[in-house]
Structure 1
Amino acid sequence: MSNFVVKKVAVLGAGVMGAQIAAHLINAKVPVVLFDLPAKEGPKNGIVLRAIDNLRKLSPAPLGVADDAALIEAANYEDDLAKLGECDVVIEAIAERMDWKHDLYAKVAPHIAPHAIFATNTSGLSINALSDGFDAELKARFCGVHFFNPPRYMHLVELIPTASTHPQILDRLETFLTSTVGKGVVRAKDTPNFIANRVGIFSILAVFAESAKYGIPYDVVDDLTGSKLGRAKSATFRTADVVGLDTMGHVIKTMQDNLKDDPFAPVYATPPVLARLVEAGALGQKSGAGFYKKVGKDIQVLDPATGNYVPSAGKADEIVVRMLKKAPAERFRLLRESTNPQAQFLWAVFRDVFHYIAVYLQDIAESAADVDLAIRWGFGWTTGPFEDWQAAGWKDIAQWVKEDIDAGKALATAPLPDWVFSGPVAEQGGVHAPQGSWSPVARGFVGRQDLPVYGRQAFRASLFGTAARDARNTGKTVHEDEAVRLWVDDRAGRGDVLIASFKSKMNTIGPDTIAGLMRAVELAERDYAGLVVWQPTSLQLGTPGGPFSAGANLEAAMPAFMMGGAKGIDPFVKGFQDGMMRIKYAAVPVVAAASGIALGGGCELLLHASKRVAAMETYIGLVEVGVGLVPAGGGLKEIAVRAAQAAQAAGSTNYLQFLTARFQNAAMAKVSGSALEAQRMGYLLPSDTIVFNVHELLDVAQREVQALAAAGYRAPLKPAGIPVAGRSGIATIQASLVNMRDGGFISPHDFTIASRIAEVVCGGAVEAGTLVDEAWLLALERKAFVELLGTSKTQERIMGMLQTGKPVRN
């Protein structure tokens, strides 16, 4: 396949989705021109300019760095249509009205470049119907590309062809979306609401119906259908509020209008409570009230019987919670047999969804894999519905669902398809098998899309029952103990890179982890081109962004503290520092591949690596202030080193000028909101690599090691002297801290901790410009750490964090 390089993208429509799609493309360094109608008053591009300005204010933030909003080019349909000819991809994202879309297409089609892909971001309208009126050449380049909201964070994009879409167009767009934009792409059939919304909205409607039947309050439903089921914390009704009840009503109406002969059609009726709320203007989070309403600091929930809001305190029954902790087969058996209304409700919802996906698999997707991945990536489920069914015992669940259908307990009378009970699926024990996933159309198990771009994913999102590689045991293990696994990827061309993966909870770093890393460096120096530090957490379930490291393992340090007091911790801290320095000055490149959180000691590990490869959604920071301590694994030392380097590069001796922002990040425990922001903060360097698809993280890191080694990598020379800001820098920082303390913005203990951070990053009580070495700065770190640990206020913070997981402000 010839190169398809996307130099610029046009987004048509500066509404909620259009503007945020444009924002995420800017995150990915793709130039974007954002179109909308010309404003009737003021600047012609006023509508777009206001949308761009609003991007800076939204939460969750659509931009990795808010100021990058200025990189979006504003345009309007009256003056700027010629700019479409500069674009390789054009994405339409206006309101869900077929007539409005056709009117816009007639206006823009003559200006779209002859090589460009034209796509619509519709959430459920027919792609074939939208292409009516196109000439054959444009029809071949047109398809659906359905981003989920918010586009930066939701992994799923559905790709929907028309009957005329050229296969090469789909392959090119899938490659671009997967690698450049960082998405999980599922190809859907052109049916109402496609895959994720079709199944996901049905699931929500089933919850509406069954919760009303069993009399389960909305807040109890959310407690039952959220994280306890491995789904998003916002669960069902809170998710509806976040999405917008009017938006949900629109998606439901698409099913009502286009699936009238469907045996499940009665289920598609808009729930009366939803209709009443929308009519009253209670649209959810955006209007301040929906199923939930915030009153002061309290959250209230709607009482459907009275229509009033009441305090939200509903919780799942403990007996049901215990059922949900059982293995899948036992869990479903207990839910089905229980007389507890909450258990009966959960079984009913699962049964309804299993019934639905079996009946409609053939109509909406090429295979069961597409259904499971679409629901996982688009609705935040840890496992897909077919995976749940298969894990619980395919034949038993099938029989139970059939019995409920026959007994009139199900939401429709449609029978389960024959393939559920006989043939390859029944023989295999489910729809996922080593050879692929079940396709009713193909009457067999089929593999997933196998484009070259997926060769970059060392561990592609796996499905229960398939022959997916497992990062916890794949490849050649070189060394393994309770703390780390050192291994080599067995894919072709990767055998010269050693990989270190942690095994602790949240990948925290203790003495045994440091020992494992030291062994990894020694092995890499002896036998390999270099070392990658990479964590497999969460990738096995296809949920991107597991933690790189939550920091130092405080619990591992407690025995030393109990035996020797604060001073007993000094060897622990010294060992951590020595480990970081060993990594920094390793004779071969050490590349840290980070995703999720890299906090405290995890951040310090990044700072000492030869290079960093970070997923876009990596949140990096030195957060030790939260437990009343200072960073002491070399993080503050690196702040001083990098500030000195920046000053020297600028030809300045005003070291404090280059230190202040870095000091504030540590003293305020600021965590980056993205890898892009981490670059602005100095935790990542401009030369570090940011990866948008977290599944490519390991592959890119391995290639970085190989490239560094091939270029003749040499460890950095130890600096002869590091110029520091000294006592005058400390005094300047402390003056501002006094104002913050006296103004009540920080506590006295916060003042003490921040002062100690200032002492370290400024190099201690020496004259400004004094040259110190890294050992001097590390000794200052250790001293501050140990002395703070001996204070009662810091001990209160540590115990509070260990007991509650939340920082104590004292």
Structure 2
Amino acid sequence: MARNIRQAAVIGSGVMGASIAAHLANVGISTLLLDIIPKDVTEEEKSKGLTLDHPAVRNRLATKAIQRLKKTKPAPLFDSDYASFITPGNIEDDLAKLQDVDWVIEVVVENLAIKQQLYEKVEQVWKPGTIVTSNTSGISINAMVEGRSDAFKEHFLGTHFFNPPRYMKLLEIIPGEQTNPEIVEEMKQFGEKTLGKGVVVAKDTPNFIANRIGTFGLLVTLSEMLEKGYTVEEVDAVTGPAMGRPKSATFRTLDLVGLDTFVHVAHNVFEKVEDEQEKAVFNAPSVLKNMVEKGWIGEKAGQGFYKKIKNEQGKQILSLQLETMEYGSQQKVSSPSLEAAKTAKGAKNKVKALLSGKDRYAELAWNITKQVLLYSAEKVGEIADTIVEMDEAMKWGFNWELGPFETWDAIGLTRSVEKMEAEGLTIPKWVKDWIADGNESFYKKENQQTFYVAEGSFTAREEKPEVIHLRSLKEQNKVITSNSGASLIDLGDGVACLEFHSPNNAIGADILLMIQQSMEEVRKNYEGLVIANQGRNFCVGANLMILLMEAQDEEWDEVDNIIRMFQNTMYTLKHFEKPVVAAPHRMALGGGVEVCMPADQVVAAAETYYGLVEVGVGLIPAGGGCKELTLRLSQSVTNREVDIQPYVNQIFENVGTAKVSTSAADAKKLGYMRPTDTFVTNPDHLIFEAKRAALRFVQDGYTPKPEEKIRVVGRDGKAVMQLGAHQMKLGGLISDHDQLIANKLAHVLAGGDVPAGTLVTEQYMLDLEREAFLSLCGEPKTQQRMQHMLTKGKALRN
């Protein structure tokens, strides 16, 4: 069972402490944010007659931190209103309030003595049973609570969040010697289910798991670079997606983290390990230390390994030339091995292709990879109990697509070890023994179950019921029906899942046909339908290429047929006699939103970026998006005396500016989702929760949604919206074509030229959408926008 934590306290309101408080607020936990009392009164406070004794002054650090959360980018809060869950305070006046919370998180400066002094104070007010944790990134968990009572130690552990806490999946839990194992398990469950984290249990060793391996990898990369004379851009070309790593690769990552922070993390290991060879690796090279001394510490200082400048060509990013320590233009990097990796599909094939090459970039990749793999193998049992925790820590903490042992399997365990030995490298004994026993990989799959090596034999990996893998279900022959764009998959318990798998999950005739076939199948043989997939993004909209081709060929009947098919499919889905639950994640745009709107409920991933963005390509929503927004408004304002014009104006602004939500919570605030729609913090649990929602509809006795009339603002309301667009045009904020699109959007949202307050049908609104869409497809400037989006991947303002 996950521990029930409803109230928490965070001590330390710096960037990390405030961001952790923000994420607790995101999941509805009331949080007390404490910091020290300032030593001085600011000029602004003096002008208000405030002294050091005033609560506003004493709580200033925490109060300012909460205010910053509302403005920080990327946003730490799902919705700026969630800041109301955080209460500012200070350590001297408010420490006794810790008796009211379920969890205390310490996030003060990384200094052992300061932490020990704080825990001494905390224990004086500590309520037995309250969890106390440290967010330390490397200080010993056991050392921090020396001198504390046994009861306190039993409830104390490390909870190392990665920055920024809202977005980074990894949470390392580090038990102390006396931590109660039940509490470790409870906090692990809480981290996964409530906070939405990928949790690994680490041992109390310097820098724990991810920072230990990640820092080692970055340092050996630097060493190879300096020894062999590679450039900054060459290293980043090799150590990014070609190796299954993020685009930020090595040096953009260092610039983002901050070179000062990285040197501190490396020094922490350097000081604490005893092996001289390991110590030498963690002694940061002089070039890094010199850059820190110069203040060239990365993005926060405006320069590090890269530097942004403005010149006649606009913005330019220069790279550091290490031999001269001057910045210059970046050079394009290419080679056969990099091209092979680029064209290979999937991380396993990419890294295999890169390391199979014969050029100097393949050599660099191999020299880095072999050291990271051997180091990881040496640390099994020391920094983590199993290879699973190490692999997951690197994937969740450093955004690697493959952990070290998954990488080893991908490139061939036995073959790569033979190569390492031929180069004179020492292989850890357990790895050699494992191979000698006839094993050729660290992981294997049998009977749909994954096994991994642990203590000399294959051990079954824990299967969590909350985690549903569509790929695994396909391997188990659970596909009911399928075509090139989508598949219907049996989730069990009478629920089927409609999965998109077209390029970018863009909606074309194949997906629409599969939606229709899915309804037929569910009608006959299932109780409910979930619409979900596990692609990078849920759906980026309709297939723009097909629309553009038909429009350029002036095949207007064909365009009309495409839109009618979309509209009719969504209308049927909305009034389907079985419950439908949509489960979007990440980008759900345009047609992706219109697929979700007919569902009885949307169960979204918390990180869902949701919006009707058709105006960006010179069009308006025509798959029922405009109709649904006006219908929901009509349903929510039942009093005919209430003027709905302001609400329609807001819809007009959101759709007309292609506004995209910054989270699922923000999508509700914008009105794209309903109050009854929900979100899930852990995306791994999304399909499980959507399936549960569908089953709840069944258990409650589902009845299909009836056809409803829509109250519209009519011609007078249209005039109001069009006047707003005209004023924006006069102010130079929009182009002539923007105004044309806005006028057509206003016509649709207003319900056309009928009198205000007229009740119209859903089909009437769909007809207005389709007519406006078709007329815009014929506009040359719209076709230019569509072409630009397809070729450049961004909107054209023409």
**TM-score (normalizing by structure 2):** 0.94
Q: Which residue, out of 203, 210, 213, partners 1:199?
A: 213
**Partner AA of 1:518 in structure 2:** Q
1:508 maps to what in 2?
Answer: 506
Cα displacement string for residues 505-544 of structure 1 (whole angstroms, at most 9, x for unaligned residues): 121111121111112122222222211111032xxxxxxx
More displaced, 232-241 or 516-525? 516-525
Contact 2:195 2:682 in 1 (8 A): yes
1:302 maps to what in 2?
Answer: 320
2:543 maps to what in 1?
Answer: 553
Which residues of structure 2 form unaligned runs of 5+? 46-56
Q: Distance in 2 between matches of 1:331 and 1:7?
A: 45
Q: Which residue, out of 113, 117, 131, partners 1:103?
A: 117
Structure 1's 727 and 426: CA in aligned 2 closer, same or farther, altered over 3 A? farther
1:458 maps to what in 2?
Answer: 468
2:440 maps to what in 1?
Answer: 429
Q: Which residue, out of 394, 407, 415, partners 2:413?
A: 394
User: What is the RMSD computed on CA atoms of the aligned residues?
Assistant: 2.1
**Partner AA of 1:666 in structure 2:** V
Cα displacement string for residues 581-621 of structure 1 (whole angstroms, at most 9, x for unaligned residues): 11110111110011111101000111111110000011100
Structure 1's 238 and 9: CA in aligned 2 closer, same or farther, altered over 3 A? same
Structure 1's 474 and 599: CA in aligned 2 closer, same or farther, altered over 3 A? farther
Alignment of 1:290-439 (within 5 A): 290-296=304-310, 297-323=315-341, 325=343, 340-406=359-425, 415-423=426-434, 427-434=438-445
2:48 maps to what in 1?
Answer: none
1:444 maps to what in 2?
Answer: 457
Q: Distance in 1 between matches of 2:787 and 2:452?
A: 51
2:768 maps to what in 1?
Answer: 780
1:708 maps to what in 2?
Answer: 697
Structure 1 residue 135: Cα displacement: 0.9
Alignment of 1:189-268 (within 5 A): 189-268=203-282
Secondary structure of the residue aligned to 2:242 is helix
Q: Distance in 1 between matches of 2:628 and 2:788?
A: 29
1:724 maps to what in 2?
Answer: 712
Q: Distance in 2 between matches of 1:264 and 1:403?
A: 22
Secondary structure of the residue aligned to 1:80 is helix
Q: Distance in 2 between matches of 1:425 and 1:123?
A: 38
**Partner AA of 1:432 in structure 2:** Y
Q: Does 1:521 align with 2:509?
A: no
Secondary structure of the residue aligned to 2:472 is coil
Structure 1 residue 404: Cα displacement: 2.4
Q: Which residue, out of 596, 602, 617, partners 1:606?
A: 596
Structure 1 residue 653: Cα displacement: 3.4
**Partner AA of 1:800 in structure 2:** H
Contact 1:229 1:324 in 2 (8 A): no
Secondary structure of the residue aligned to 1:157 is strand
Q: Does 1:470 align with 2:469?
A: no
Q: Which residue, out of 64, 82, 91, partners 1:50?
A: 64
Q: Distance in 1 between matches of 2:257 and 2:622?
A: 43
Contact 1:551 1:598 in 2 (8 A): yes
Structure 1's 714 and 232: CA in aligned 2 closer, same or farther, altered over 3 A? same
Cα displacement string for residues 55-85 of structure 1 (whole angstroms, at most 9, x for unaligned residues): 1121111111123223211121111112111
Q: Distance in 1 between matches of 2:585 and 2:355?
A: 39
Contact 1:425 1:431 in 2 (8 A): no
**Partner AA of 1:789 in structure 2:** C
1:663 maps to what in 2?
Answer: 652
Identity %: 38
1:541 maps to what in 2?
Answer: none
**Partner AA of 1:33 in structure 2:** L
More displaced, 367-376 or 281-290? 281-290
Structure 1's 759 and 619: CA in aligned 2 closer, same or farther, altered over 3 A? same
1:543 maps to what in 2?
Answer: none
Contact 2:490 2:497 in 1 (8 A): yes
Q: Which residue, out of 607, 610, 622, partners 2:612?
A: 622
Q: Which residue, out of 731, 740, 759, partners 2:728?
A: 740
Q: Distance in 2 between matches of 1:149 and 1:326?
A: 31
Structure 1's 39 and 471: CA in aligned 2 closer, same or farther, altered over 3 A? farther
**Partner AA of 2:771 in structure 1:** K
Structure 1 residue 373: Cα displacement: 0.6
1:790 maps to what in 2?
Answer: 778
Secondary structure of the residue aligned to 1:405 is coil
Alignment of 1:115-154 (within 5 A): 115-154=129-168
**Partner AA of 1:153 in structure 2:** Y
**Partner AA of 2:495 in structure 1:** V
1:755 maps to what in 2?
Answer: 743
2:671 maps to what in 1?
Answer: 682
Contact 1:646 1:658 in 2 (8 A): no
Q: Distance in 1 between matches of 2:790 and 2:70?
A: 35
Structure 1 residue 367: Cα displacement: 0.9
More displaced, 798-807 or 368-377? 798-807
Cα displacement string for residues 757-810 of structure 1 (whole angstroms, at most 9, x for unaligned residues): 111011111221122111111111001100000010011111122222222221
Q: Distance in 2 between matches of 1:4 and 1:567?
A: 59
Secondary structure of the residue aligned to 1:269 is coil
Contact 2:496 2:522 in 1 (8 A): yes
2:563 maps to what in 1?
Answer: 573
Contact 2:337 2:353 in 1 (8 A): no
Structure 1's 332 and 732: CA in aligned 2 closer, same or farther, altered over 3 A? closer
**Partner AA of 1:21 in structure 2:** I
Structure 1's 447 and 20: CA in aligned 2 closer, same or farther, altered over 3 A? farther
Contact 2:529 2:578 in 1 (8 A): yes
Q: Distance in 2 between matches of 1:379 and 1:395?
A: 27
Structure 1 residue 210: Cα displacement: 0.8
Structure 1's 798 and 363: CA in aligned 2 closer, same or farther, altered over 3 A? same
Q: Distance in 2 between matches of 1:449 and 1:86?
A: 36
Contact 2:604 2:678 in 1 (8 A): yes
Structure 1 residue 448: Cα displacement: 4.6
Q: Distance in 1 between matches of 2:634 and 2:721?
A: 17
**TM-score (normalizing by structure 1):** 0.92
Structure 1's 339 and 588: CA in aligned 2 closer, same or farther, altered over 3 A? closer
Count of aligned pairs between the two proteins:
775
Q: Distance in 2 between matches of 1:285 and 1:444?
A: 46
Structure 1 residue 475: Cα displacement: 5.7
Secondary structure of the residue aligned to 2:307 is strand
Structure 1 residue 438: Cα displacement: 5.0
Which residues of structure 1 form unaligned runs of 5+? 407-414, 461-468, 538-545
Structure 1's 589 and 527: CA in aligned 2 closer, same or farther, altered over 3 A? same
Structure 1's 744 and 331: CA in aligned 2 closer, same or farther, altered over 3 A? closer
**Partner AA of 2:505 in structure 1:** N
Cα displacement string for residues 703-762 of structure 1 (whole angstroms, at most 9, x for unaligned residues): 11111111112122211x311111121111122212222222212111111111111011
**Partner AA of 1:19 in structure 2:** A
Contact 1:485 1:500 in 2 (8 A): yes
Q: Does 1:176 align with 2:190?
A: yes
Contact 1:567 1:786 in 2 (8 A): no
Secondary structure of the residue aligned to 2:587 is strand
Cα displacement string for residues 221-251 of structure 1 (whole angstroms, at most 9, x for unaligned residues): 2222112222111111111111111111110
Contact 1:316 1:342 in 2 (8 A): no
Contact 2:633 2:647 in 1 (8 A): yes
Q: Distance in 2 between matches of 1:603 and 1:330?
A: 33
